[in-house]
Structure 1
Amino acid sequence: MGFIHRKTSKQTRKLKTLLRLAISRVAVARRPRLARKSIATSDVGQLLALGHIDRAIHRVELVIQEGNMLEAFEMIELYCKRLIEKSEDLENPSECAEEIREAAAGLMFATGWCGDLPELLFAHAILTDKFGNDFASAAKNGTNIVDPLLVWKFTGNATNMELKNKVAKEIATKNMILLNFSEMTKANEDGEVPYHQDLELGMP
């Protein structure tokens, strides 16, 4: 006797198709962002090596922005795959496990931030029909069940000086550039970033 599988509605099948297309689109959208992040990271390393700390710190913003989008894409891809694998559960949204609701909410939130993924807009309409307007409203605002990490990846402040210093320090370490970040941090707190900082190349 074979296993009995629950049937999925036409609406759910359409959602699965959209999510598969979104996964393919993520792969395409990821490539230019990887390139931009790689170029920006290289630029930061060169600027740090030359002692142009202020320019390097400014360039770090692009590294952070592209990095955040790449990590957001990873989460979106994971959510798409989760909903595809558990599509049968979407026939009874009120009984969905929390991981399914989180995936649905995450994709709905991402819709407003991902022009690179137009399929999400159509998926959003189907998910709204399934989970209701209240759920959609909470997802749009990034509240309730939306993963705070995903919200931060889209809305986080890439100009935060503490974050920029942290990323610059990581790049300096990777490139074996020794910097006096304690003095740089003090300069930042005083409202300025020095144009040139004594440094040396070598093993950290």
Structure 2
Amino acid sequence: MGFILRKTSKQTRKLKTLLRLAVSRIAVARRPRLARKSIATSDVSQLLALGHLDRAIHRVEQVIQEGNMLEAFEMIELYCKRLTEKAAQLDKPSECVQEIREAAAGLIFAAGWCGDLPELPLVRTILTEKFGNDFASTAKDGTGIVDPMLVWKLSSDATNMELKEKVTKEIAAENIILVDFSKLTEVIDDTATYHQDLDLDTPW
């Protein structure tokens, strides 16, 4: 029989089951995140309309967090489906094409960041056994063939002021709200002062 037609191992069958469960769980986990993103976006829009730029900038953090995770879910779902469809190839990891190795690396990395998907740590264990510790170690670090976009979506800092300004401006533009972003410097200064005060506090 040809390579593609041969039966998969017991370990690979278990992996396929876990991948299908992960895809089903993504469908469930996506809904509350969509709702939270929608509410946070609406809040930012209202705050901007009322002239509360400082509060809008703070609230936009959740818009970024939920949006990043939703986009990461899309990539993870694609990887799960790709490995499920090509499962037979996983019994010979050294012969896997680049897209399969990229999917495996992506899921290994995502396992450390997605608490919503408890199947991923189990997927990571199986993929580590198949592809080896060196491959897994590189993937966990988000390097090698892990898609940089997935790394950014899962590990980016939602408090980054440049990113918050960008997303806030996008929300303002989408809702045709005129905002004086020259005041943003004041907001940044106030935020920096606030964090400095926290650093100076003596912990109990």
TM-score by length of 2: 0.88
Q: Take 1:67 and 1:161, find their aligned partners in 2: how far apart are those partners?
A: 16
Where does residue 100 of structure 1 map in the other structure?
A: 100
Q: Take 2:183 and 2:170, find their aligned partners in 1: how far apart are those partners?
A: 14
Residue 61 of structure 1 aligns with an amino acid whose one-letter code is E
Q: Take 2:183 and 2:104, find their aligned partners in 1: how far apart are those partners?
A: 43
Where does residue 177 of structure 1 map in the other structure?
A: 177
Q: Secondary structure at the match of 2:157?
A: coil
Q: Take 1:5 and 1:165, find their aligned partners in 2: how far apart are those partners?
A: 52
Q: Take 2:103 and 2:72, find their aligned partners in 1: how far apart are those partners?
A: 13
Where does residue 60 of structure 2 map in the other structure?
A: 60
Residue 179 of structure 1 aligns with an amino acid whose one-letter code is V
Q: How does 1:1-204 map to 2 (within 5 A)?
A: 5-181=5-181, 183-187=182-186, 191-192=189-190
Q: Secondary structure at the match of 2:49?
A: helix
Q: Take 2:48 and 2:157, find their aligned partners in 1: how far apart are those partners?
A: 22
- CA offsets, 1:45-76, max 9 Å, x none? 00000000000000000000010110111110
Q: Take 2:121 and 2:162, find their aligned partners in 1: how far apart are those partners?
A: 35
State the identity as a percent: 75
Q: 1:131 to 1:54 in 2, by over 3 A?
A: same
Q: Deviation of residue 184 (structure 1)?
A: 3.1
Runs ≥4 residues deviating over 6 A: none
- CA offsets, 1:8-55, max 9 Å, x none? 111111111110000000001111111110000000000000000000
CA contact (8 A) 2:54 2:187 kept: no
Q: Take 2:116 and 2:163, find their aligned partners in 1: how far apart are those partners?
A: 26
Provide structure 2 residue ranges, at least 5 long, that are not aligned to the other structure. 192-204
CA contact (8 A) 2:105 2:139 kept: yes
Greater share of helix: 2
Residue 12 of structure 1 aligns with an amino acid whose one-letter code is T
Provide structure 1 residue ranges, at least 5 long, that are not aligned to the other structure. 194-204
Q: Deviation of residue 137 (structure 1)?
A: 0.7
CA contact (8 A) 2:22 2:119 kept: yes
Q: 1:185 to 1:55 in 2, by over 3 A?
A: closer
